[in-house]
C-alpha cells in the first residue's frame, strides 16, 4: 500500500520527492512519459499519482488523466498536479476536478502534508476490549491474540505510517445482525452473556466444548461484528482501500446456531450489508478449516464469489468443502473449494492458490474483496494437519491485495499464539507494501518442530517443505482438483 507514482521528467524534483516520501515509508515509482506511466499502473495500481502539469499536456497529444478516467481500475486514483495553478479564469476539466494543485518549487513539508492528505489510506481496526474475553482456561481460542498482534505491529512500526489509521469499532446491534441471524438465536446468545448455561441453549449450539457459554460471549461477538462492519464501511466509503479487523472472521456461525468457536458470522453480516448497497463481493478464505457458514449463506447467490482453500473435509472439521460443492441455481459456479491434503506445504499451497484465485477474482470483477487470513494451517498449529509457514500466507495476502480494488482482511483461526501474531503482523506489513527490517531476529521466540526451527525469532518463518513420495502424492491430488476447477467451474464465473 501507499504506492506513489511520480510522473515528471525534472530530475531535481524527482530526486527530492523520492527521498522525502521514501523516508516516510512510501513506495515511489517514477515515469517520464505517458506510456511508461500507464505501463506501471497496469502492473501495480498506485495509491496516488503526482503529475507534472506540463508533461501531462504534452504526452503524445493525449491527457494522461483522460486516459486514466477511461480505465475503471485507474479512474478513482487520487491525483496531485505539480506546476503552477491554472491561469485566471481557466476552469479545470472534468478529469481535474478531484485533483490538488501544487506549485514548484514544492517544500518537503508541503509535499508530505499534501500526500498524506490525499493518498488512499489503510485502516487497522482494533479495540483494546478484544483481549478482555476468555472462552475458558482450556479452550484453544484466545481472543488476546489481537492485543499481542497489535503490540508486535507497534514494535515494527507498522501502525505508525502516515497512511495508516488505527480505528476503534463499536459493538454491532441486533438490527445489524438480523439480516443473517435468527432473532431467537440472538436472544439466546444475549441470555448467555452472563456466563450461565441453561439447557435450552443447546438447541442453538451454545454450551458445547467448541462454543462454551462464558461471561461476555454476546458482547465479544457483537464487538467483533462491529469491527467487521466498520472495516467494510471504511473501504466502501472510498477513503480507504484496505482495512484489517484481526478479531473478525467467524466463518462457521450459521443462521440459527453457533459452531466451531463462532457465535456470530460477522463476514456474512457485513457482506449482506454491502449487497444491499449494490456491491459485488469476492470472499477468499485461507483458514485451514472450510468456511461452511459463509458458503451456506451465499450458495445460491451470483453476487458473491466464495473461494476457500482449506484442509480436506476428509480429515478436518467441518468435514465439508469438496471441489464438487460449486453453488446451485444462480450461484452455480460462484462457490469454489480447493481441499488440500494433510501435510500440504507452501509450494503446493501457492501453486493451488495461483492457479485458481487470481483468475477467478479477476473474472468476477468485484467491488470489494474479503480475505480471511486464518493462519491455523501453520506447521506449528495444533488444530490442523497442514504444513505451511507464514511465508505462504504473506505471499497470498500480497497477491490478493494487488488484485483487489478494495480489500477487507479478517483474522480467523490460529491457535499457537506466537505463530498467529507473527503471521498477522507479517500479512499486515506486506499488504501495506512493507518488508519489515528484522532487527529483532532471535528476540521474539521460536517453535521447535521436529528437528527444524520453523520460527526463527523474527517475523518470517524459515521455509519448511514436505518431501519424498508424500509430496508427490499431495501435488498429484491438488493438481487433480485445480484442473477440475479450471475446466468445469472457473469458466462459469462472469462479471456483472
Which residues, at least 6 apart from 464, have a Cβ–Cβ distance to it below 8 Å? 345, 346, 379, 387, 389, 449, 452, 454
Pick left, alpha or beta for residue 264 (phi over 0 → left; psi -120 to 50 → alpha; otherwise beta). beta
Sign, CA dihedral 255-261-265-268, equals: negative
- Which cell numbers in the block locate residue 273? 450489508
Q: What is the DSSP string of 384-416?
A: ---BB-HHHHHHHHHHHHHH-SSEEEE-----S
> Distance between CA 143 and CA 352 in Å, rounded?
31
Torsion of CA 66, 72, 73, 74, to 10 degrees: 20
From 252, 254, 289, 310, the catalytic residue: 252
Determine the Cα–Cα distance for residues 367 and 354; give it in Å rounded to an integer: 21
The angle subtended at Cα 449 by Cα 157 and Cα 380, nearest 5°, is: 55
Cis peptide before 105 (omega within 30 of 0): yes
- What is the C-alpha to C-alpha distance for residues 494 and 496, in angstroms, rounded to an integer? 7
- Residues facing 6 on adjacent strands: 30, 50
Answer for the pair 458, 327: CB distance below 8 angstroms, yes or no.
no
> What count of Cα atoms within 13 Å lies in the side-chain half-sphere of residue 369?
26
Tell me, yes or no, if 254 is annotated catalytic: no
* Contact present, 362 and 403 (Cβ < 8 Å): yes
Catalytic residues: 252
Amino acid at each position: 500500500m501507499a504506492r506513489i507514482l511520480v510522473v515528471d521528467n525534472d530530475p531535481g524534483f524527482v530526486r527530492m520527492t523520492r527521498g522525502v516520501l521514501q523516508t516516510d515509508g512510501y513506495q515511489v515509482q517514477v515515469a517520464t512519459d505517458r506510456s511508461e506511466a500507464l505501463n506501471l499502473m497496469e502492473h501495480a495500481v498506485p495509491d496516488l499519482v503526482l503529475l507534472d502539469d506540463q508533461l501531462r499536456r504534452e504526452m503524445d497529444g493525449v491527457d494522461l488523466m483522460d486516459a486514466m478516467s477511461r480505465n475503471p481500475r485507474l479512474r478513482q486514483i487520487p491525483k496531485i498536479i505539480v506546476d503552477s495553478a491554472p491561469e485566471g479564469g481557466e476552469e479545470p476539466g472534468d478529469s481535474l476536478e478531484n485533483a490538488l494543485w501544487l506549485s514548484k518549487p514544492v517544500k518537503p513539508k508541503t509535499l508530505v502534508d499534501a500526500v498524506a492528505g490525499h493518498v488512499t489510506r489503510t485502516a487497522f481496526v482494533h479495540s483494546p476490549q478484544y483481549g478482555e474475553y476468555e472462552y475458558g482456561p482450556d479452550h484453544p481460542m484466545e481472543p488476546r491474540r489481537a492485543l499481542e498482534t497489535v503490540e508486535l505491529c507497534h514494535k515494527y512500526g507498522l501502525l505508525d505510517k502516515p497512511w495508516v489509521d488505527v480505528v476503534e469499532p463499536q459493538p454491532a446491534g441486533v438490527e445489524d445482525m438480523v439480516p443473517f441471524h435468527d432473532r431467537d438465536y440472538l436472544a439466546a446468545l444475549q441470555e448467555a452473556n452472563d456466563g450461565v448455561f441453561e439447557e435450552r441453549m443447546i438447541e442453538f449450539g451454545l454450551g458445547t466444548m467448541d462454543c462454551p457459554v462464558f461471561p461476555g460471549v454476546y458482547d465479544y461477538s457483537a464487538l467483533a461484528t462491529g469491527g467487521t462492519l466498520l472495516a467494510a464501511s471504511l473501504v466502501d466509503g472510498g477513503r480507504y482501500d484496505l482495512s484489517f479487523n484481526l478479531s473478525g472472521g467467524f466463518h462457521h456461525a450459521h443462521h440459527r446456531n453457533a459452531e466451531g468457536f463462532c457465535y456470530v458470522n460477522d463476514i456474512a453480516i457485513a457482506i449482506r450489508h454491502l449487497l444491499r448497497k449494490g456491491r459485488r463481493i469476492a470472499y477468499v478464505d485461507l483458514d485451514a478449516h472450510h468456511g461452511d457458514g459463509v458458503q451456506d449463506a451465499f450458495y445460491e447467490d451470483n453476487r458473491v464469489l466464495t473461494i476457500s482453500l482449506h484442509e480436506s473435509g476428509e480429515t478436518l472439521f467441518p468435514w465439508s468443502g469438496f471441489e464438487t460443492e460449486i453453488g446451485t441455481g444462480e450461484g452455480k459456479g460462484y462457490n469454489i473449494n480447493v481441499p488440500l491434503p494433510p501435510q500440504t506445504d507452501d509450494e503446493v499451497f501457492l501453486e493451488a492458490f495461483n492457479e485458481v484465485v487470481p483468475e477467478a477474482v479477476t473474472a468476477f470483477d468485484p467491488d470489494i474483496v474479503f480475505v480471511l487470513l486464518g493462519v491455523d494451517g501453520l506447521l506449528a498449529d495444533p488444530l490442523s494437519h497442514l504444513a505451511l509457514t507464514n511465508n505462504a500466507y504473506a505471499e497470498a495476502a500480497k497477491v490478493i491485495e494487488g488484485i483487489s480494488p478494495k480489500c477487507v482482511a479478517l483474522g480467523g483461526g490460529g491457535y499457537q499464539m506466537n505463530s498467529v501474531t507473527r503471521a498477522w503482523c507479517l500479512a499486515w506489513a506486506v499488504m501495506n507494501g512493507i518488508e519489515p527490517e528484522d532487527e529483532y531476529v532471535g528476540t521474539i521466540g521460536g517453535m521447535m518442530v521436529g528437528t527444524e526451527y520453523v520460527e526463527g525469532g523474527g517475523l518470517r518463518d524459515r521455509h519448511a517443505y514436505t518431501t519424498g513420495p508424500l509430496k508427490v502424492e499431495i501435488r498429484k491430488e491438488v493438481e487433480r482438483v485445480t484442473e477440475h476447477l479450471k475446466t468445469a467451474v472457473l469458466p462459469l464465473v462472469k462479471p456483472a
